[in-house]
Amino acid sequence: DQQVKQNSPSLSVQEGRISILNCDYTNSMFDYFLWYKKYPAEGPTFLISISSIKDKNEDGRFTVFLNKSAKHLSLHIVPSQPGDSAVYFCAASSLQTGANNLFFGTGTRLTVIP
Amino acid sequence: DAGVTQSPTHLIKTRGQQVTLRCSPKSGHDTVSWYQQALGQGPQFIFQYYEEEERQRGNFPDRFSGHQFPNYSSELNVNALWLGDSALYLCASSLRPDNNEQFFGPGTRLTVL
Protein backbone atom coordinates (compact mmCIF):
# COMPACT_ATOMS: atom_id res chain seq x y z
CA ASP A 1 0.00 0.00 0.00
CA GLN A 2 1.86 3.04 -1.33
CA GLN A 3 0.86 5.96 0.89
CA VAL A 4 3.10 8.44 -0.90
CA LYS A 5 3.06 8.50 -4.68
CA GLN A 6 5.20 10.17 -7.28
CA ASN A 7 3.50 9.40 -10.56
CA SER A 8 6.16 10.84 -12.84
CA PRO A 9 9.22 8.58 -12.97
CA SER A 10 11.19 11.15 -14.95
CA LEU A 11 11.25 14.81 -15.93
CA SER A 12 13.48 16.72 -18.35
CA VAL A 13 13.83 20.49 -18.18
CA GLN A 14 15.98 23.05 -19.94
CA GLU A 15 18.56 24.88 -17.85
CA GLY A 16 17.15 28.14 -16.49
CA ARG A 17 13.53 26.99 -16.68
CA ILE A 18 11.29 25.89 -13.84
CA SER A 19 11.19 22.27 -12.67
CA ILE A 20 7.99 21.13 -10.98
CA LEU A 21 7.98 17.78 -9.21
CA ASN A 22 4.71 16.44 -7.87
CA CYS A 23 3.76 14.16 -5.01
CA ASP A 24 0.42 12.81 -3.76
CA TYR A 25 -0.36 11.11 -0.47
CA THR A 26 -3.29 9.14 0.88
CA ASN A 27 -2.83 9.22 4.66
CA SER A 28 -4.52 12.27 6.17
CA MET A 29 -2.51 11.76 9.39
CA PHE A 30 0.70 12.87 7.68
CA ASP A 31 1.71 16.22 9.16
CA TYR A 32 5.25 16.74 7.94
CA PHE A 33 6.58 16.48 4.43
CA LEU A 34 10.12 16.44 3.10
CA TRP A 35 11.94 16.38 -0.20
CA TYR A 36 15.21 14.53 -0.58
CA LYS A 37 17.64 14.57 -3.47
CA LYS A 38 19.70 11.50 -4.34
CA TYR A 39 22.77 11.23 -6.52
CA PRO A 40 24.05 7.82 -7.64
CA ALA A 41 26.12 5.99 -5.00
CA GLU A 42 25.08 8.47 -2.32
CA GLY A 43 22.39 8.47 0.31
CA PRO A 44 19.39 10.80 0.06
CA THR A 45 20.20 14.39 1.01
CA PHE A 46 17.60 16.55 2.72
CA LEU A 47 16.45 19.42 0.53
CA ILE A 48 13.45 21.17 2.02
CA SER A 49 10.48 20.40 4.25
CA ILE A 50 7.06 21.73 5.17
CA SER A 51 4.78 21.29 8.12
CA SER A 52 1.07 20.70 7.58
CA ILE A 53 0.28 24.02 9.26
CA LYS A 54 1.86 25.83 6.30
CA ASP A 55 1.05 25.83 2.61
CA LYS A 56 4.38 27.11 1.31
CA ASN A 57 8.03 27.01 2.29
CA GLU A 58 10.85 28.61 0.39
CA ASP A 59 14.60 28.14 0.50
CA GLY A 60 16.57 29.86 -2.21
CA ARG A 61 15.72 28.33 -5.56
CA PHE A 62 13.53 25.66 -3.95
CA THR A 63 9.90 26.12 -2.95
CA VAL A 64 7.54 23.46 -1.66
CA PHE A 65 3.78 23.91 -1.88
CA LEU A 66 1.30 21.89 0.15
CA ASN A 67 -2.38 21.49 -0.71
CA LYS A 68 -3.87 19.54 2.19
CA SER A 69 -7.37 19.30 0.77
CA ALA A 70 -6.01 17.67 -2.38
CA LYS A 71 -3.35 15.72 -0.45
CA HIS A 72 -0.80 17.02 -2.89
CA LEU A 73 2.56 18.70 -2.65
CA SER A 74 4.96 19.98 -5.23
CA LEU A 75 8.56 21.07 -5.38
CA HIS A 76 9.47 23.99 -7.61
CA ILE A 77 13.06 24.62 -8.63
CA VAL A 78 13.72 27.99 -10.23
CA PRO A 79 15.94 28.41 -12.14
CA SER A 80 16.92 24.82 -12.81
CA GLN A 81 20.64 24.07 -13.08
CA PRO A 82 22.47 21.03 -14.50
CA GLY A 83 23.69 20.20 -10.98
CA ASP A 84 20.06 19.68 -9.97
CA SER A 85 19.97 16.52 -12.09
CA ALA A 86 19.24 13.75 -9.58
CA VAL A 87 16.44 11.55 -8.27
CA TYR A 88 14.03 13.45 -6.04
CA PHE A 89 12.07 11.65 -3.35
CA CYS A 90 9.03 12.99 -1.57
CA ALA A 91 8.58 11.71 2.00
CA ALA A 92 6.01 12.12 4.76
CA SER A 93 5.72 11.41 8.45
CA SER A 94 3.12 11.69 11.21
CA LEU A 95 3.19 12.18 14.96
CA GLN A 96 1.26 8.92 15.17
CA THR A 97 3.96 6.77 13.58
CA GLY A 98 6.92 8.93 14.56
CA ALA A 99 9.06 11.64 13.00
CA ASN A 100 11.79 9.21 11.97
CA ASN A 101 9.39 6.80 10.28
CA LEU A 102 9.40 8.32 6.83
CA PHE A 103 7.13 7.09 4.06
CA PHE A 104 8.80 7.67 0.71
CA GLY A 105 7.51 7.93 -2.80
CA THR A 106 9.19 6.03 -5.63
CA GLY A 107 11.14 9.05 -6.83
CA THR A 108 11.29 11.26 -9.91
CA ARG A 109 14.47 11.43 -11.96
CA LEU A 110 15.09 15.05 -12.95
CA THR A 111 17.39 15.80 -15.87
CA VAL A 112 18.33 19.42 -16.46
CA ILE A 113 19.57 19.90 -20.00
CA PRO A 114 22.31 22.53 -20.45
CA ASP B 1 32.55 16.49 11.02
CA ALA B 2 31.93 12.98 9.70
CA GLY B 3 28.54 12.26 8.29
CA VAL B 4 26.76 8.92 8.47
CA THR B 5 29.02 6.07 7.46
CA GLN B 6 28.05 2.52 6.52
CA SER B 7 29.96 -0.67 5.93
CA PRO B 8 30.43 -2.62 3.84
CA THR B 9 29.66 -0.81 0.59
CA HIS B 10 28.67 -3.96 -1.26
CA LEU B 11 27.91 -7.48 -0.16
CA ILE B 12 27.01 -10.69 -1.95
CA LYS B 13 25.33 -13.53 -0.07
CA THR B 14 23.47 -16.71 -0.97
CA ARG B 15 19.97 -17.70 0.02
CA GLY B 16 19.64 -18.89 3.60
CA GLN B 17 22.72 -17.07 4.82
CA GLN B 18 22.83 -14.35 7.45
CA VAL B 19 24.22 -10.83 7.06
CA THR B 20 25.24 -7.98 9.35
CA LEU B 21 25.40 -4.38 8.17
CA ARG B 22 26.97 -1.58 10.18
CA CYS B 23 26.27 2.10 10.62
CA SER B 24 27.96 4.97 12.45
CA PRO B 25 25.71 7.98 12.95
CA LYS B 26 26.61 11.57 12.29
CA SER B 27 28.61 13.10 15.12
CA GLY B 28 26.29 14.21 17.92
CA HIS B 29 23.34 12.09 16.79
CA ASP B 30 21.85 9.49 19.10
CA THR B 31 19.09 7.93 16.99
CA VAL B 32 19.53 5.53 14.10
CA SER B 33 16.93 4.33 11.62
CA TRP B 34 17.30 1.70 8.92
CA TYR B 35 15.60 1.68 5.54
CA GLN B 36 15.44 -0.82 2.68
CA GLN B 37 15.38 0.51 -0.86
CA ALA B 38 14.51 -2.04 -3.50
CA LEU B 39 15.32 -1.32 -7.13
CA GLY B 40 13.00 1.32 -8.57
CA GLN B 41 11.34 1.97 -5.22
CA GLY B 42 11.62 4.54 -2.49
CA PRO B 43 13.23 3.67 0.84
CA GLN B 44 11.05 1.68 3.26
CA PHE B 45 11.39 2.10 7.01
CA ILE B 46 12.62 -1.03 8.80
CA PHE B 47 13.13 0.14 12.40
CA GLN B 48 14.56 2.83 14.64
CA TYR B 49 16.98 2.54 17.56
CA TYR B 50 17.32 4.98 20.43
CA GLU B 51 18.95 4.46 23.81
CA GLU B 52 20.00 0.99 22.65
CA GLU B 53 16.42 -0.14 22.18
CA GLU B 54 14.20 -0.69 19.17
CA ARG B 55 11.62 2.10 19.40
CA GLN B 56 9.63 1.73 16.21
CA ARG B 57 9.31 -0.91 13.55
CA GLY B 58 7.97 -0.92 10.03
CA ASN B 59 6.33 -3.82 8.24
CA PHE B 60 9.29 -6.18 8.20
CA PRO B 61 9.49 -9.77 9.50
CA ASP B 62 11.42 -10.88 12.57
CA ARG B 63 14.26 -12.03 10.30
CA PHE B 64 15.26 -8.39 10.42
CA SER B 65 16.80 -7.45 13.75
CA GLY B 66 19.13 -4.80 15.00
CA HIS B 67 21.26 -3.48 17.75
CA GLN B 68 22.50 -0.14 18.97
CA PHE B 69 25.71 0.22 20.92
CA PRO B 70 26.55 2.70 23.70
CA ASN B 71 28.47 4.85 21.19
CA TYR B 72 25.20 5.11 19.16
CA SER B 73 26.46 3.02 16.25
CA SER B 74 24.11 0.35 15.01
CA GLU B 75 23.92 -2.98 13.26
CA LEU B 76 21.23 -4.46 11.06
CA ASN B 77 21.03 -8.25 10.96
CA VAL B 78 19.06 -10.23 8.42
CA ASN B 79 18.66 -13.99 8.87
CA ALA B 80 17.60 -16.65 6.37
CA LEU B 81 18.24 -14.40 3.39
CA TRP B 82 16.09 -14.80 0.32
CA LEU B 83 16.27 -13.27 -3.12
CA GLY B 84 13.78 -10.53 -2.25
CA ASP B 85 16.14 -9.12 0.36
CA SER B 86 18.41 -7.85 -2.40
CA ALA B 87 18.32 -4.08 -1.99
CA LEU B 88 20.18 -0.97 -0.92
CA TYR B 89 20.11 -0.69 2.87
CA LEU B 90 20.24 2.87 4.13
CA CYS B 91 21.04 4.05 7.60
CA ALA B 92 19.84 7.44 8.79
CA SER B 93 20.66 9.29 11.97
CA SER B 94 19.07 12.14 13.85
CA LEU B 95 19.32 13.97 17.14
CA ARG B 96 16.51 12.35 19.11
CA PRO B 97 13.68 10.21 17.70
CA ASP B 98 11.25 13.11 17.38
CA ASN B 99 13.49 15.09 15.07
CA ASN B 100 12.28 15.17 11.47
CA GLU B 101 15.73 16.01 10.15
CA GLN B 102 17.50 12.77 9.29
CA PHE B 103 20.86 12.41 7.62
CA PHE B 104 21.39 9.39 5.41
CA GLY B 105 24.48 7.32 4.78
CA PRO B 106 25.49 6.12 1.30
CA GLY B 107 24.00 2.68 1.89
CA THR B 108 25.08 -0.93 1.63
CA ARG B 109 24.16 -2.74 -1.58
CA LEU B 110 23.17 -6.33 -0.69
CA THR B 111 22.82 -8.91 -3.43
CA VAL B 112 21.34 -12.31 -2.57
CA LEU B 113 22.00 -15.07 -5.10
Tell which residue, B66, B68, B55, has the closest CA to residue B98: B55
- Per-residue pLDDT of B36-50, as tens digits, reads 999 989 999 999 999
Report the pLDDT value the prediction gives residue B1, as an integer from 0 to 100: 63
Cβ–Cβ of A106/B58 closer than 8 Å?
no
Top residue of B31, B100, B103 to mutate, by most chain A CBs within 10 Å, is B100
Report the pLDDT value the prediction gives residue A64, as an integer from 0 to 100: 98
Residue in B with minimal Cα distance to A42 = B106
Which chain B residues contact residue A32 at CB under 8 A?
Answer: 100
Report the pLDDT value the prediction gives residue A97, as an integer from 0 to 100: 81
Distance CA B29, CA B73 (A): 10
- Residue range B50-79: mean pLDDT, rounded: 96
Distance from CA of A104 to the nearest CA of B (A): 5
Report the pLDDT value the prediction gives residue B60, as an integer from 0 to 100: 96
Helix (H) or strand (E) run with residue B58 in it: none
Q: pLDDT category, B111, cuts 50, 70, 90?
A: very high
Strands B53-57 and B44-50, how do they pair? antiparallel
Residue in A with minimal Cα distance to B91 = A43
A 13-72: CB under 8 A from B: 32, 34, 36, 41-46, 49
Distance CA B67, CA B33 (A): 11
Report the b/e string of A41-52 with b at 16+ CB within 10 A. eebbebbbbbee
Report the pLDDT value the prediction gives residue A2, as an integer from 0 to 100: 83
- Residue range B71-93: mean pLDDT, rounded: 97
Tell which residue, B60, B88, B44, has the closest CA to residue A101: B44
Distance from CA of B14 to the nearest CA of A (A): 23
At position B27, the amino acid (one-letter code) is: S
- Per-residue pLDDT of A28-76, as tens digits, reads 999 999 999 999 888 999 999 999 999 999 999 999 999 999 999 999 9
Q: pLDDT category, B4, cuts 50, 70, 90?
A: very high
**Mean pLDDT over the full length of chain B:** 95
Of B56, B101, B104, the CB nearest to A98: B56
In angstroms, the Cα distances linking A114 to A40, A50, B36, B56, B80 are: 20, 30, 34, 44, 48
Cβ–Cβ of A36/B99 closer than 8 Å?
no
Q: Is A92 on the interface with B (CB under 8 A)?
A: no
Say if CB A54 and CB A37 are below 8 A apart: no
**Mean pLDDT over the full length of chain A:** 94
Cβ–Cβ of A46/B103 closer than 8 Å?
yes
